Amino acid sequence: MLNELYDLSLSLEKAGILPTEWHPDLKELPKVSKAKPCFKVCLAQDGAITEIESIEDSAQIENLRKWQSGGNGYSFPCFNVRPLYKAYVGNGAKDIEKKAFDDWLKGVKKAQVLSDAAASILECYTNSSNTLWGDKHNERVATCLDSIPSKLNEILGGPPDEYRAMAALIERCRKTTADKFFQQLAVLLEDRIRKNPSACDKYAGFLLHCGTNPPNNDIQLILELSDGLSAFPLPAANPKIHRWLNQQLLTHKSDGLSDGAASSKHADAFGFTSEDWKSKLAEVNVPILGGVKLRAMNPESPCQTRYRRVDATSFVVGKEVRKRVKGALEWLTDDERQGKTWGNVSFARDDKEILLVYPSELPKAPIAAVVMFGGAPTNAATQSARFVDYAADVTKALRTISRPLKEVEMRVLPCAKWTRREHKFHVTGSIRLND
């Protein structure tokens, strides 16, 4: 995949398209789902939680990022937690968990049923002393509220006025503790359920965990200022602030090579400097597939021994090329280019699969090239269309390029993830269009 993405980066460069370079530790937020809910948590000047809001649409958190420092699960200003309490079962009421959760899980809308369900949920909670935030979890939350923002504050220094909401958020987080954070969340969640039973399906799963299996840290929290919209030019959870944060992190890394990577005068496989060649290649969050590694380097894979070299030594790729291929894949699979440069073809097989298609010479506006190869779900309108019909539309769009059309290749890159084996593969190819 590295060769194909490097070629794409050259095509992007020729077209004057510069993909955004994101710091490798500044991760995209995952999509919101029922299994992985998301909440905005607002902090007052003293660090106390004043408001909690359920976020149900992924569009509300689009372009927001979290700085992941010290490993997965340790991040800021967004991080993941688990439910607060294990639902109480006792006093001979063996079905109390089922009774408490059945109605809102089914989405029943009758007011009285919802009210009864909310009362049952709160009964499970008020009788419960089974906190799910043990010492280890509290320690991780404390790191996300204090250590990580403190480290970030040292990197950012004094921000310009437009971005000072981030500095204020860091200051407020450091004024609270994991214990206070837990207790204030519990009070607000109970209040939400008590005052608005119709919303108990949104908040009960955060307050209480129902079931015999231990809970995962699947609840995403986005920290915000309680007065972010009134006292600051921009709220902390704003894409513009997060882009500024990205620039500060990139500058800091390039100034001090903070990841410990050494500079090198030797060339990599593409002729660029081999700086950072020993580091792991980045992982890109691709639609449908999830996290895709730009190159897997598992020394236990038999193919790694083909040339008697394993890991990074088998194909040296430096910092510049890593940046280019990562940016190219992110550009190619951006949500706004679905149906143009990529399409979901999972309907053609049981496994997750997308199709990537782009011309070697990029026009000013992306064209719907992927539909030529079945990169869109078939329906009554598309079933009767033929490859040549789609190709004619694409060819017409490509005539805006000054280069002779017969020299333009359509590059095709299927990429799949087998759900049974969690294995990713890709096959590349290209075709030429007649002028």
Structure tokens at 115: 């009210």
pLDDT band at residue 102 under the 50/70/90 scheme: low
Q: Of residues 292 and 147, which shows the higher confidence score? A: 147
- Which DSSP string do the residues of 161-213 spell out, in sequence order? GGGHHHHHHHHHHTTS-HHHHHHHHHHHHHHHHHH-GGGHHHHHHHHEE-SSS
> What are the Cα distances from residue 245, in Å, to 235, 283, 331?
13, 20, 20
Domain limits, the chain: 2-24+251-333, 26-237, 336-432
Q: Of residues 255 and 60, which shows the higher confidence score? A: 60
Three-state DSSP at 32 gives: coil
Distance CA 405, CA 26 (A): 40
- Which DSSP string do the residues of 277-329 spell out, in sequence order? TTSPPPEEEETTTEEEESS---TTSGGGGTTT--GGGGS---HHHHHHHHHHH
Structure tokens at 53: 């809001």
The backbone region for 47, taken as left when phi is positive above 0, alpha when psi lies in -120 to 50, beta otherwise, is left
Q: What is the pTM of this model?
A: 0.73
Given a cut of 60, whether residue 309 has pLDDT beyond it is yes
At position 218, the amino acid (one-letter code) is D
Distance CA 228, CA 240 (A): 14
Q: Give residue-wise pLDDT tens across range 221-278.
A: 999 999 988 999 999 999 999 999 999 998 886 554 444 444 556 888 888 888 878 8
For residues 347-368, average pLDDT? 73
Residue with tokens 């789609």: 390
Widest pairwise Cα distance in the chain: 81
Q: Give residue-wise pLDDT tens across range 284-301.
A: 888 888 888 887 666 666
Q: Give residue-wise pLDDT tens across range 107-143.
A: 555 566 556 667 776 777 666 678 899 999 999 999 9
Distance CA 290, CA 284 (A): 8
